[in-house]
Amino acid sequence: MPVFSYVTDAMVQSNVPQPTAERQRELASTLGVGGPTTGERLTVDRLREEIDADPDDSFVSMGEAIRNDLSGRLDADLLAAALPEIVAQVGRVPEVREAGIPGGKTGPEALYRGLVEPAWRVYHHLEDVGFFESVEANLPAFTPEHIAGTARELVRAEPLSTTLEECGFDERERMVLMMNVANNDTRLSRWTPTREIPEGVEFEVEYVPPLQQRAMGGALLWVQALDEHLWRKEILITDAILDDVRWDTKAMLGGLYLMALAAHDIAAGADGSLTDAQLTAALTAGTAVTIVNQEELMQDAFWITEEKRKPSEASGREEELPWQ
């Protein structure tokens, strides 16, 4: 089921995700604020005015624990270098969409892969230093309470919002990212922290990476796969699919950026700019966005049903078949 409708207004330059009124009401309800009035579109500023300004104590203590746990293990220079590079890749998303399907006679040229190169470097570093294990150990599962708390902290945290704006996400897109976190508690709850997978399940739990690693690594793998997928399946690919790819990829880069930003803040020690609560929110939101949008990308661009495919010049579509 699509989470967002898309506006096709000529005033909008490309398919910008449009939060539906229902989704805005859902977000408002999660945050405990008034919903949008008729014709109103919720904004982060409007939400910030209405919610309690004091941070959640549990978010403070979780952030503090993660900082303490990872103190001295992260490479501040590597992370500092990666952050603007990720931002630069967010900025490249429109040109990649413009290119559409990678060229190449015997295999795809690198197009989408470039978008995640800086984030891969961050991921490998975080994996090497045990970042994901530490974060998973100190954060709760995606309970409705934790998700609501994260959403509230995202609204409160002006630095996070400003950073995303600088990263290339406009107001509407930031709201959509917020909703990806706040309006998906059931969906996110299926992504269980590894430590909470029941004892003795049907697979080897020791082979299941920490939740945040699955989120971040999964997002990277999906974007990385786009070159080959779009090239190999070119006969099925429509502009609508490519538009969905554009947003899903951009959103995942936003989530990856939040993860990298949080890691850098920890590495920066006293020079960090996020509060402990904001750190917790950045990690949770980054995880949530990468999860939600990798699932969206999977459904939008990889699971290409008859209804979604570019019609074949030779065989047409399913409805032409005599089923009876």
Contact positions vs other proteins (CB under 8 A): 106-107, 127, 186, 190-192, 197-198, 200-204, 206-210, 213-215, 217-218, 221-222, 225, 229, 231-236, 294-295, 298-299, 302-303, 305-306, 309, 312-316, 318, 320-324
User: Residue 173 or residue 227: which is nearer to other proteins going by CB?
Assistant: 227
Smallest gap from residue 110 Cβ to other proteins (A): 15
Q: Which is nearer to other proteins, 95 or 204 (CB)?
A: 204
Is 136 or 173 the residue whose CB approaches other proteins more closely? 136
Cα–Cα distance, 283 to 202 (Å, whole number): 29
CB nearer other proteins, residue 7 or residue 197: 197
35-58: string of b/e by CB count within 10 Å (b at 16+)?
ebeeeeebebeebbeeeeeebbee
Least spacing, CB of residue 154 vs other proteins, in Å: 23
Q: Nearer to other proteins by C-beta: 164 or 288?
A: 288
Pick 173 or 300: Cβ nearer other proteins = 300
Cβ 218 to other proteins shortest distance, Å:
3
The answer to whether the beta carbons of residues 255 and 293 sit under 8 Å apart is: yes
Minimum Å distance from CB 261 to other proteins?
21
Minimal distance in Å, beta carbon 90 to other proteins?
21
d(CA 212, CA 131) in angstroms, rounded, equals 9
- Smallest gap from residue 281 Cβ to other proteins (A): 22
Pick between residue 175 and residue 230 the one whose CB is nearest to other proteins.
Answer: 230
CB 77 within 8 A of CB 271: no
Q: Nearest Cα to 149, choosing from 177, 120, 185, 114?
A: 185
Q: Identify the H or E element spanning 162.
A: helix 158-167
Task: Measure the CA–CA gap between 145 and 195, rounded to whole angstroms.
Answer: 19
Nearby residues of 33 by Cβ (< 8 Å), 6 or more positions away: 47, 50, 51
Q: Are 115 and 230 in contact (CB under 8 A)?
A: no
Q: Which amino acid does the sequence have at 102?
A: P
Contact 211, 287 (CB under 8 A): yes
Smallest distance from other proteins to CB 1, Å: 9
